[in-house]
Amino acid sequence: MEIFEYIRTSFHVIKAFVTQDKLIYIGLGVLGLFILWTILSLVLSHEFKMERLWRKMTKEIEDGKMTKEKYFAFTKYIQKMPTSVQRNWRKYEIKKTGMPSDYITQEDMLDNPIGGGIRKQNRSLMKFAMWSVTIFAFALSLSSMGASEPITAEVFVESAIVPFILFMLFRLNYYIYTAIRQYEYRLAVDDFNEFINFVDSMISIEDIFEGDDDFLQVNSNCFYTSHKTIQNPTQSSREVEPIVFKTESNNEQVEEKKTESKPVELKKEYEFYRTKSGKIELRSRQDFSEALMVVEKLLDEKPKGSKQSDEKSKRVAELMEAMNKYRNKKLK
């Protein structure tokens, strides 16, 4: 009961200072906040963010012949795109067939992120805020005008005049926002089609990394791998082609061969080199490959508790940091 009395007292204090003129000024101030909300929503929208990324990515590859360095400068921006786009681009790097447009679609890039989440939630919040402010303004107006006399139809209608005008202004701002957002989406669709057509004409992974697949796998900016491409470590593997690495010191070739009927086992406690600060440091391609396999296995595992989940997240983050450092060192 004390809580209700506190709320009622607060309402009476506010009502004592609010007149119809002050209510109009307060409503206009709230309208200014709605307009600011609208501007920020348009500037920080997913479509606007993607358009900025496409311009940066296009600038990286628009001049001259396509090279490996330009490719990696281009794909570093993919990390800022939706997860489905990152995962599909990783599939493209693994398969090396087809064109970029076969793997990146408008649905993954634009429709899914805004259709089921960001835009819908923002509109719902804006509607809720408009109705809440209007109802509260009507309550203040009614209590102010009908405080010393019985509530009649005339008093009720007069009390609704200011809240109704404010609601119409809020609603007008909302309709302007939705119209601009829809126009922004249509522009983003056109820009996406131009972008993906340009990328198709410039990028062919098969041509760029012909005969140098290992270099792409080690330095890839995308670590999202299709589950179909991850081999189950408990199953035996068929014989595959030897993977050849060249050592930097004497250019000797070292062959690794996986033979039939031998299970591919991930070392649960693979001993990575650690610095004095205790951080993992990858010193060879073998270390990088082992780290990548461990990360893939950890991502496939389902933790059985919060403690195990935290340990898994820390382990993945630690290995990913080491892999990024190794990759950046190789690119220099």
**Domain layout of the chain by residue ranges:** 1-208, 213-331
Question: Is 126's pLDDT higher than 50?
Answer: yes
Residue 236 is predicted with a pLDDT of 36
| Secondary structure (DSSP) of 108-162 | IIIIHHIIIIIHHHHHHHHHHHHHHHHHHHHHHHHHHHSSSS---HHHHHHHHHH
Average pLDDT over residues 142-156: 73
- Is the confidence at residue 319, as pLDDT, over 90? no
pLDDT in tens, 213-243: 677 777 777 764 433 333 333 333 333 343 4
- Mean pLDDT, residues 196-219: 82
Confidence of residue 133 (pLDDT cuts 50, 70, 90): very high
Instruction: Flag whether pLDDT at 206 surpasses 80.
Output: yes
Mean pLDDT (the chain, rounded): 77
Range name among 48-62, 197-211, 311-325 with the lowest pLDDT average: 311-325
Distance CA 161, CA 28 (A): 14
Determine the 3-state secondary structure of 207 from DSSP: helix
Q: How far apart are CA 314 and CA 318, in angstroms?
A: 6
Long-range CB pairs of 53-60 (<8 Å, 24+ gap) are 53/77, 53/80, 53/81, 54/191, 54/192, 54/195, 57/195, 57/199, 58/195, 58/198
Q: Could you give the CA distance from residue 42 to residue 51 in angstroms, rounded to a whole number? A: 13
Residue position matching structure tokens 């786009």: 85
Q: Which of 61-70, 266-275, 285-294 has the highest mean pLDDT?
A: 61-70
Helix residue spans in the chain (DSSP H):
2-17, 20-43, 46-61, 68-75, 83-95, 106, 112-113, 119-145, 153-202, 205-208, 213-219, 285-300, 306-331
Per-residue pLDDT at 146 = 62
pLDDT score of 261: 39
Span 181-201, average pLDDT? 92
- The pLDDT, as a whole number, for residue 172 is 95
Q: What is the pTM for the complete model shown?
A: 0.58
**Rounded to an integer, what distance in angstroms lies between the CA atom of residue 71 and that of residue 93?**
11
> Residue 303: its pLDDT value, please?
73
- Pairing type for strands 243-246 and 273-274 reads unpaired
How many residues are present in the chain?
332
The pLDDT score that the predictor gives to residue 38 is 92
